[in-house]
Amino acid sequence: MLLRIDHVGIACHSLEAAVERYQSVFGLTVVSRETNEQQGVREAMLALPDGSSYVQLLEPLGPDTPVGRFLARRGEGLHHVGYAVADVAAALDAIGGRGARLVDRRPRHGSMGASIAFLHPADLGGVLTELVQPRDVRET
Amino acid sequence: MLLRIDHVGIACHSLEAAVERYQSVFGLTVVSRETNEQQGVREAMLALPDGSSYVQLLEPLGPDTPVGRFLARRGEGLHHVGYAVADVAAALDAIGGRGARLVDRRPRHGSMGASIAFLHPADLGGVLTELVQPRDVRET
């Protein structure tokens, strides 16, 4: 069902400062910048050289957003992990059928044209978990 | 320098409960179990189908260990991220030269025969970051 680790999502106070740091320390390259009003974030995706995994840096659009509340409670750090799947709707059905709680019952729009859904951390060792069907997979 | 995301490390109270959950929800397979006295953890590595990324589940050997203190402070959840590198000693030299703080100045033994080193979270958006030179890379 899960194909690989697609990305780690990192909550930060300043997107620009975090981008600068990840570029200068690791030589990573920004391949996408987006603002997602629904999720309440500005973000940058930095590509790893394997071409299929990313570091996602997330700055909240305000304090009353999921990432804003995360920062207030825990400070900067790992916010979630995303796994690539071939079919996010099918994966949601299968996972829901196994008794794991879902945040999203249906896929929604994610970064870089992906179709995504979040799973609740309570059943997954406290880890907010995202399923990611990348755009090129969805279009085939 | 970084090649790909090698693993996410997840701190949990009960390794067996977490393994059972990740197996049943996602169909992942345990490929390695180890106790690392130096790091104060019992762990299981569950392989993703790409053959090069893993979910690492970590149970502390006691409360006065890094993962034990993490659990007491924050509860279960994402503890660190590991990136694969071709040469961990060379990567440490390069990263230290760029002003990022290191936890380990020299590589040490990690999971599944890897050579690893940790970078300090303070310069990386609050993310404890591990460099992983997998065994098969080191031997070539």
> Which domains are assigned to chain A?
2-139 (3.10.180.10)
Sign of the dihedral through C-alpha B19, A66, A9, A13: negative
> CB A33: neighbour CB atoms within 10 A?
13
* pLDDT on residue B140: 39
Whether pLDDT at A139 is above 70? no
A90–chain B Cβ distance below 8 A for any pair? no
Of A137 and A75, which is predicted with more confidence? A75
Range A111-114, long-range pairs (CB < 8 A, 24+ positions)? A111/A32, A111/A34, A111/A36, A111/A43, A111/A45, A111/A56, A112/A31, A112/A32, A112/A34, A112/A45, A114/A138
Q: Which residues of B touch A123 (CB under 8 A)?
A: 21, 25
**By percentage, how much of chain A surpasses pLDDT 70?**
97
CB A28 within 8 A of CB A47: yes
Q: Strand B129-133 to strand B77-85: parallel, antiparallel, or no bridges (unpaired)?
A: parallel
CB contact (8 A) between residue A127 and residue B28: no
CB contact under 8 A, B12 and A75: no
Nearest to A17 by CA among A59, A45, A46, A56: A59
Q: What percent of chain A has pLDDT over 90?
A: 91
Which residues in chain A are closer than 8 Å to B118, comparing Cβ atoms?
A: none
Q: Is-contact B110 B116, C-beta < 8 A? A: yes
- Using CA atoms, how far apart are residues B125 and A79, in angstroms rounded to an integer? 11
- Report pLDDT for B136: 74
Across chain A, what does the average pLDDT equal?
94
Which residue do the tokens 């690539």 mark?
A: A84
| pLDDT band, residue A99 (cuts 50/70/90) | confident
* Backbone dihedral angles phi then psi of residue B72, each to the nearest 5 degrees: -65, -35
Q: Which of residues 29-58 of A touch B (CB under 8 A)?
A: 48-50, 52-53, 57
pLDDT of residue A41: 97
- Whether B2 sits inside 8 A of A26 (CB atoms) is yes
Residue B139 has a pLDDT of 43
For residues A58 and A65, is the Cβ–Cβ distance under 8 A? no
Q: pLDDT tens for residues A20-43?
A: 999 999 999 999 999 999 899 999
Task: Provide, as residue numbers in chain A, all residues whose Cβ is less than 8 Å from the Cβ of B123.
Answer: 21, 25
Q: Is the pLDDT of residue A137 over 60?
A: no
| φ, ψ of residue A55 in degrees (nearest 5) | -100, 125
Q: A16, A42 in Cβ contact below 8 A?
A: no
Q: How many angstroms separate the CA atoms of A102 and B47, rounded?
A: 23
Query: Under 8 Å CB-to-CB from B117, ≥6 apart: which residues?
Result: B88, B91, B92, B102, B103, B104, B106, B107, B108, B130, B131
**Count of positions (residues) in chain B:** 140
B33 token code pair: 């179990």
Average pLDDT over residues A77-100: 96
Give residue A61's pLDDT band: very low, low, confident or very high (50, 70, 90). very high
Contact A123 B25 (CB under 8 A): yes
User: Cα–Cα distance between B106 and A45 in angstroms, integer?
Assistant: 30
Does B125 contact A100 at a Cβ distance shorter than 8 Å? no
Give contacts of B3 with chain A, Cβ < 8 Å. Answer: 48-50
Asked if A11 contacts A44 with a C-beta cutoff of 8 angstroms, the reply is no
Query: Which parts of chain B register pLDDT below 70?
Result: 137-140
ipTM: 0.94
pLDDT of residue A138: 41
Beta bridge partners of A65: none
Please give the pLDDT value at position A136.
74
On whether any CB of chain B is under 8 Å from the CB of A26, the answer is yes
Q: Compute the distance between CA of residue A18 and CA of residue B138 in angstroms, rounded to an integer.
A: 31
- Confirm or reject contact between A80 and chain B (CB < 8 A): yes
